Amino acid sequence: MVSAVIHVVIFVAAIGYVTVRAVDELVAGVFWPRVLLGYFARGLLIVVLLGLSGLLSVLGLNLLLGGISAVVLAMVLNRRARVQRDALLNLLAMAGERGIALEPVLHAYGAECRGAFGRRVEKLATRLGQGAPLAESLAVWPRLVPDQAVCAARLGTEVGQLGRSLRVAVEVTQSRAAIAHRLMSVAWLVFWPLVMLAVTFTFTSKFLYPRIQQILDDFDMPAPASASWLFGLGNQPWFNVGLGLALLGLMVLLFYAVLAYIGWVPLALPWGSKLFARFESTYVLRHLALVCEARQPLPRGLALLANSYPTSWVRRRLRRAQERIEAGAKWADALAETGLVTAHEVTLLRAAERAGNLPWILRLTAATGERRLTYRILSICQLLVPLLIILVGLAVFVLAASLFVPLVEIIKAQAE
């Protein structure tokens, strides 16, 4: 029943996504028979794959196939789209730094790209040629460039640092892609050993141990108390419910990690603010350095970021910092109260402001925070590997011993 519901949900989501993409291309002016034929073939492929998955679910192999397919499909779908988005952002940054007009550059790049992405780039070039601002034009097609690019374009236009602001977005996008890859690796590393352990225990308690129990009954021998207690847990409703919820939580974690790797959901969440506040503050501090170099007041830069930052919980924190500044607080103290900088960094920023080298210190602080976050993620990975090996090893030992002890008792009885 659960497998059927999961297959129905996946089918509806996949068909809905294909339909939205087809409508998007029809609106973009693509030749409609080509669109209908192409997306009909994709829909048919989805039906075939789900049918194969349903067949394998009967054999008990859908979990392994589903996990591997999700990761492979995410990487395949994301690779080309990410390359195109990053290349477009890099092109915009390069043109902005060198003072090249964006319209002919985008027309040339759009002609080189295929499909809906190339047509959107050409429409972007046409819109810019009509006099529309870059930030507003990019906001019309939010998946055309990474989320940070719209914020960078708006702030760079306001302070007169468009090329350098877009270059900051390029650097942040590259670093975030690397961090997202590491986090997905952590989620994958945690997910599969625990899932395989749960599947092994369920199979042993439901199918294997009852047969051993039947053999013991044939010999009029009692089952060891430890084995009876351990495998009896598999027949307890509360244990099955708890195990199912734990597996569901791990699947949600893996699914979110895959979506974050693709870029459909934000990587930094407010629940992990102590870890991810540094992840977001690197972007904020780099842009504040540009604002400072443009000889603009930093509260104005915070206001621009608060109105256009792509992550909602960071926008709320920046607005709180803006309110504190309007109430008379120092900008560094206001950032510290939101958790985007530490108390030690506030002291450093104050000293840099008095010494006149604030832009350099802002960039140094951002780079240092980014390195610390990377080191923390690497530390978590290095800690999880031995812990998982020990956990799985102990679990396998307990399961093997619980199955081996009844066999020893049977052999002894036969010998006597």
Q: Which of 337, 331, 361, 341 is nearest to 349 (CA)?
A: 361
pLDDT at residue 16 in the model? 64
The pLDDT profile of the chain, 416 residues, written as one tens digit per residue, is 555 555 555 656 666 666 666 666 666 555 556 666 666 666 666 666 666 555 555 444 455 555 555 555 555 556 667 788 888 888 999 988 888 888 888 888 888 887 778 888 888 888 888 888 888 888 887 778 887 888 888 888 888 888 888 998 888 888 777 777 777 777 777 777 777 777 777 777 777 777 777 777 777 777 667 677 777 776 777 777 777 777 777 777 777 766 666 666 666 555 545 556 777 888 888 888 888 888 888 888 888 888 888 888 888 888 888 888 888 888 888 888 888 888 888 888 888 888 888 889 888 888 888 888 778 877 877 787 788 788 878 877 877 777 777 777 777 766 66
With 0-12 / 13-18 / 19 or more C-beta atoms within 10 angstroms meaning exposed / middle / buried, residue 341 is buried
Under a CB-based contact definition with an 8 Å cutoff, are residues 150 and 307 in contact? Answer: no
Question: What residue spans define the domains of the chain?
Answer: 146-416
pLDDT value at position 275? 59
Tokens of 122: 């050409």
Rounded CA separation 359/362 (Å): 5
pLDDT the model gives residue 12: 61
pLDDT at 50: 60
Q: Are 74 and 35 in contact (CB under 8 A)?
A: no
Report long-range pairs for 169-172 (Cβ below 8 Å, ≥24 apart): 169/89, 169/93, 170/86, 170/89, 170/90, 170/93, 171/286, 172/148, 172/282, 172/283, 172/286
Report helix, strand or coil for 141: coil
Confidence (pLDDT) at 48: 62
Residues with Cβ < 8 Å from 410, sequence gap 6 or more?
215, 216, 219, 221
